[in-house]
Amino acid sequence: MDYQTLKLRLIGFSTYSILLMLISCSEDFLDIVAEDRIDKTSFYESDKELVNAINGVYAKQRIVFNHYGTYYLQDSRSDNAALNQQDQPERVQSDVFQELTNNQEMLISWSQLYDVINHANAIIANTKNVEGDQELVNRIVGEAKFLRAYTYFQIVTTWGDVPLRLLPSEDFDNVTVPTSSSSEVYNQIRIDLNEAISVLPENYIGGKGFEIGRVTKYAALTLLGKLELQIGNNEAAETALRQVIGRYRLLSDYADIYAAGNNNTAESIFEISFEPAGNTGFFLPNYFIPIDETQRLGIPAGGNADQILQFYPTQSLIDEFEINDLRADATFGIAVADNDPYVSKFKDLGAASQGHDVNIAVLRYADVLLSLSEAIGESSEGYELINQVRRRGFGFDPEMVNESVDINFTTPGSFNDKLLHERRVEFAFEHQRWSDLKRLLNPEEVVQLMKEQLFQQEGKDFEISTTDLLFPIPLLEIQISDGAVTQNPGY
């Protein structure tokens, strides 16, 4: 290794450490102090140590979802949300497909995601000699494999071909991993999920190490179904998703999904947990809601002081909701002071400085129903699965036929059009839309849709190509790899 390469690696890891220190926090059930550096991994000695270690991985995952970078990489990239183009250029480039390879917001998200993976890898690699309840040890390894799989799913759908790190980074010599193809990454996700399914429980009974909200067998099956859909294996997706049918149910009121304190409901399959009492509440709603609106609503936590919110719903999303669809009022609000729309989905009227008491349901039963419909394709059963979600959205019993809202073969539009519409209004701001567009439309259709969206949003044309459907690999990652990591086409 030459001096220049070593220097770049040292600079790179220093940068990663600083970025992670700036955004790290800790919590319980995560009652663990998060580590903000690449550590010299030691072997775990007891099942109790392993419980603390897996709690740390959950805590790392929470950091990812409590940073606005997740919205820059997903929702604002799509036609659901916009970023204020008068804000700092680097923070808003992703909205208009103009981000550079050295974009620091993108690098922070990349670093956070790989930090989750590194801590999961440490558990998976160092459990051979752990003493104690071996069933518990195996379960914790299954949790780590799910969390690694879910994080790689976020990474591969965002960046495509990426480094596939399966061992913990113990020092500067073993951290450089070359680019793997997206198919290799997807295959590893499948391996991790199948191994997790074999050891994870169906549910938890509560108590230390067995808290409700941990990863279950059905969470792994749901993600496996989504993985197979993403790569076009509809038959395999159907097999996985059918095993989840009937294990959960839709809540009767859509607004209850994200009602403050209403966590781990009958609809929720896996959530990112936040806990204001432990100073680890969900802080992003403060970023979404104008400060004068929080004052009007009586939310103690304050709000966004900008005249134009940095992140806000697009008009095309607002227009997508049908008349009498109750999901609209549960998704966005209109600020009384200036009549501008804002994201209201995750607000907690009692939120104070510790953040909002709202979890993010990254896997929920409505997704299973709509994903299974997608896997089956246009059919009577496929439409019935969509209609169950629609009925609840309009305030009706999901199980009862309702001609006023049900759709079928004769409803205008292709099956994909109808599915995309339902997924858009059901999962707005839940980090689904960008992957949905890339999966259910061809690349040229996505480019054209986004060009039209950005013209409506900004009043001018933007250059977008099919290579822009993947983000660039962060420049620093390429530099410190000494050429082992390659850049995506078009950058």
pLDDT digits (tens, 9 = 90+) for 137-190: 999 999 999 999 999 999 999 999 999 999 998 766 667 899 999 999 999 999
CA separation for the pair 311, 289 (Å, rounded): 9
Domains: count for the chain: 2
Q: Taking a C-beta distance cutoff of 8 angstroms, is the pair 288, 355 a contact? A: no
207 lies in the same domain as 105: yes
CA separation for the pair 182, 440 (Å, rounded): 18
Is residue 48 situated within a structural domain? Answer: yes
164 lies in the same domain as 301: no
Question: 211 to each of 31, 214, 353, how far by Cα in Å?
Answer: 12, 6, 26
pLDDT of residue 420: 98
Coil, strand or helix at 102: coil
159 lies in the same domain as 295: no
pLDDT of residue 171: 65
288 lies in the same domain as 208: no
Is residue 376 situated within a structural domain? Answer: no
292 lies in the same domain as 206: no
Mean pLDDT by runs of 10 across the 491 residues of the chain is: 45 45 43 41 82 96 94 94 92 94 96 97 93 96 98 98 92 79 98 98 93 97 98 98 98 98 97 92 94 95 89 97 98 94 96 94 98 98 98 98 98 98 98 97 98 96 97 95 94 95
- Domain harbouring 12, CATH code: 1.25.40.390
160 lies in the same domain as 77: yes
- Domain enclosing residue 161, as ranges: 1-215+465-491
pLDDT of residue 11: 42
pLDDT of residue 31: 44
The model's pTM is: 0.92
Is residue 230 situated within a structural domain? Answer: no
In the beta sheet, which residues pair with residue 32?
27
CA separation for the pair 124, 140 (Å, rounded): 9
| DSSP line for 424-438 | HHHSTTSS-HHHHHH
208 lies in the same domain as 312: no
Is residue 435 situated within a structural domain? Answer: no
Is residue 32 situated within a structural domain? Answer: yes
Please count the other Cβ atoms lying within 10 Å of the Cβ belonging to residue 449.
Answer: 16
Is residue 475 situated within a structural domain? Answer: yes
**324, 343, 362 - which closes a domain:** 343
Tell me the angle at which helices 365-376 and 415-426 cross, rounded to the nearest 10 degrees. 170
pLDDT of residue 483: 87
193 lies in the same domain as 298: no
**293, 313, 343 - which closes a domain:** 343
204 lies in the same domain as 313: no
Is residue 444 situated within a structural domain? Answer: no
205 lies in the same domain as 288: no
46 lies in the same domain as 184: yes
Non-local (6+) Cβ contacts of 330 within 8 A are 254, 255, 257, 258, 344, 345
3-state SS track over 40-71: CCCCCCEHHHHHHHHHHHHHHHHHHHCCCHHH
199 lies in the same domain as 305: no
pLDDT of residue 173: 63
pLDDT of residue 129: 87
Is residue 247 situated within a structural domain? Answer: no
Average pLDDT over the chain reads 91
Non-local (6+) Cβ contacts of 421 within 8 A are 320, 413
Non-local (6+) Cβ contacts of 221 within 8 A are 193, 197, 240, 241, 243, 244
**343, 358, 389 - which closes a domain:** 343
